[in-house]
Structure 1
Amino acid sequence: MAGSTAAGMSAREAILRAALKVVGEQGVAGLTNRRIVAEAGVSLGSLTYHFPSQTELLRQAMLLFAAEEAKKLTELAETHRTDGISVEEAAVAVEQVLTRMTFTTDDIAPLELYLQAGRDPELRDATQRCFAAYDELATTVLTALGVPDPQRLAGPVVALIAGLQLRRLATGEAPPAATALTMLIHGSNA
């Protein structure tokens, strides 16, 4: 994309996508104006016009990611929704989806931004929105499965899946998600 913005993409969106790519490749510490404008194919003036501070750029990039992630996950949930599916079958389906996922710089960028939100409280509203979307999706799926009190369980389910994915990213090994999800939903007696 370097050299010119992608067709049909505004300069603002190109900058946000470039920021996510750079963060995924270099981390937040590697996010420089020079790298962003080179990747986005925009001028430095365009970058500073749209985003007067790096915090605002990171916040808006996280919000873009959150909106797109929520849409993608909702579509994924719909494709795997089946009437009468058991919790165990749903857990196996989740494990299969997680195992097939590859980690690209696009997948690493949000993790970097979550960590940055721990350092910069101004980013927390964006990360809270992202996790709220995950929680809402988990609540929807748990409700469809007939799990009692799905809102109470949604946060722990999201945390378990995120933790398993982080472990997979760090170790290269995919721990079994189905057993862990089933135990969490049914209790340790499952």
Structure 2
Amino acid sequence: MRLIASRGLRGLTHRAVDQAAGLPPGSTSYHARTRARLIEVTLRRMADEEGVLEESVLMTADHDLGTLADLVAEFTHTAIHRDRDRMLARYELALEATRRPELRPLYDRVGARFRALARTVARALGSPDPERHARDLIAWADGVIFDSVAGAASACPPSLAELRRSARDLLSAQAARSPRPT
């Protein structure tokens, strides 16, 4: 993913992967014969790694608004600061999946995990419309992440404290639209 982040998908070649991994020439082509297979393997690895991240978020026992906002902020902060290369690769792969229909189902499975996570957060808030609130949460997170790693804010991405305030504002607005328990 670092290779895609630094060189784009055009830079993802068997030779480049071998060099970046310190492998003898031809090693990568043994496991992924074609460039299409190399991209597919990358997408699968991304899906597996992101699944581990999401499961850790879902394992929290405490689902009050403050805790959920903190988890969303920490997830977003990690994506921006620690996983910047993964996010850049994800955007490259998203664009490639729009051009190559055979990649779309695999890329969409990666996205489905994020949607499930966002629905879990919305349900934990008591959302009457978890699907819509999940879309709002994804739009916020994707927008902040994209702006912070590839957009105008990449020179000065938000701090964890800023993300906590922003996530709390969004989730508070969603919770305010939810029915109150009687």
> So what's the TM-score if we normalise by structure 1?
0.72
Q: Is the 8 A contact 1:22 1:31 kept in 2?
A: yes
RMSD: 2.5
Unaligned ranges ≥5, structure 1: 1-19
Check if 1:47 corresponds to 2:28: yes
In structure 2, the partner of 1:114 is 94
In structure 1, the partner of 2:85 is 105
Q: Distance in 2 between matches of 1:89 and 1:47?
A: 43
Greater shift, 43-52 or 174-183, is seen at 174-183
Instruction: Tell me the secondary structure at the aligned position of residue 179 of structure 1.
Output: helix
Q: Is the 8 A contact 2:122 2:130 kept in 1?
A: yes
| CA displacement, residues 93-120 of structure 1 (integer Å, 9 cap, x when unaligned) | 4235434551532332222211222222
Distance apart, 1:58 and its partner CA:
0.8
Identify if the C-alpha distance between structure 1 residues 104 and 153 changes in structure 2 by more than 3 Å, giving closer, same or farther. Answer: closer
* Correspondence list, 1:160-171, <5 A: 160-169=140-149, 170=151, 171=153
Identify if the C-alpha distance between structure 1 residues 139 and 120 changes in structure 2 by more than 3 Å, giving closer, same or farther. Answer: same
Distance apart, 1:180 and its partner CA:
3.5
In structure 2, the partner of 1:149 is 129
In structure 2, the partner of 1:76 is 57
Distance apart, 1:136 and its partner CA:
1.1
Unaligned ranges ≥5, structure 2: 178-182
- The residue identity in structure 2 corresponding to 1:90 is L
Check if 1:95 corresponds to 2:85: no
Where relative contact order (Cα < 8 A, 6+ residues apart) is larger, the structure is 2
Instruction: Tell me the secondary structure at the aligned position of residue 122 of structure 1.
Output: coil
Identify if the C-alpha distance between structure 1 residues 97 and 134 changes in structure 2 by more than 3 Å, giving closer, same or farther. Answer: closer
Determine what percentage of the aligned residue pairs are the same residue. 28
> So what's the TM-score if we normalise by structure 2?
0.75
Q: Distance in 1 between matches of 2:100 and 2:170?
A: 32
Alignment coverage as a number of residue pairs: 165
Identify if the C-alpha distance between structure 1 residues 122 and 71 changes in structure 2 by more than 3 Å, giving closer, same or farther. Answer: same
